[in-house]
Amino acid sequence: MSTLAAVSIWGSRVAVELANRALDESAGRSAEPGSVANVLRYLREARLCGEQADELRFDDVAAFGRWLDGQPEHQARIGLVEVFSGTVGDLAGVRGGDIVIVDPPPGGGSPVIGVAGYDGRLYNRGVVDVTVRQATVRVYRYLNRAETGQSASGSVRRR
């Protein structure tokens, strides 16, 4: 298994586990940049969302992105929170273990999804070949509920 350094409180050990899952499965394979199912499986295997994601099915990355952005509860359901959405020139602010959706500009191809590694690249059963210039990038990060006081449903627990 890959060995990665620990990350900030946003993801801690779980983000490392998520990145490791994606990196390990990507070794020597061709990427599947349109597979939401792979990313949901990585989340389950890293124990981020458990069975909450088992019944989720999406036709494509765009449909998954619309679902995530549709209601905050959707992000909480699978243990993520959106930390950025906008046009960027590169993936410099992305951290290992982040889930990244890249929507290319009109005529630029199909949206892609991947888990960020620690080398500035995205992984989804292989290295995702993506150019982010003039693309809309959405970054979702694991929400460490133990540190934020949130329950699995996304509601705030009383202490």
Residue 38: inside a domain: yes
Please choose, from the candidates 102, 158, 107, the residue with its C-alpha nearest in 3D space to the C-alpha of residue 130. 102
Question: Comparing C-alpha atoms, which of 7, 141, 150 is closest to residue 82?
Answer: 141
Residue 155 placed within a domain: no
Longest Cα separation, the chain: 50
List of the chain residues with pLDDT < 70: 1-12, 50-54, 144-159
pLDDT for residue 43: 86
Instruction: Tell me if 3 is assigned to some domain.
Output: no
113: domain range?
A: 12-148
Q: How many CB atoms lie within 10 A of CB 155?
A: 11
Q: CA 81, 117, 132, 130: dihedral to nearest 10 degrees?
A: -120
CATH, residue 62: 3.90.1720
- Per-residue pLDDT, 157: 29
Number of compact structural domains in the chain? 1
CA nearest 36: which of 55, 62, 15, 61? 61
Task: For residue 119, tell me if it sits in a domain.
Answer: yes
**Do the domain assignments include residue 1?**
no
Evaluate whether 124 touches 61 at the Cβ level (below 8 Å): no
Global pTM value: 0.82
Length of the chain: 159
Output the pLDDT for position 83: 92
Question: What pLDDT is stored for residue 45 in this prediction?
Answer: 81
Beta partners for 99?
Answer: 115, 140
- 2 in a structural domain: no
**pLDDT (0 to 100) of residue 79:** 84
Residue 6 lies in a domain: no
Q: Residue 50 domain-assigned?
A: yes
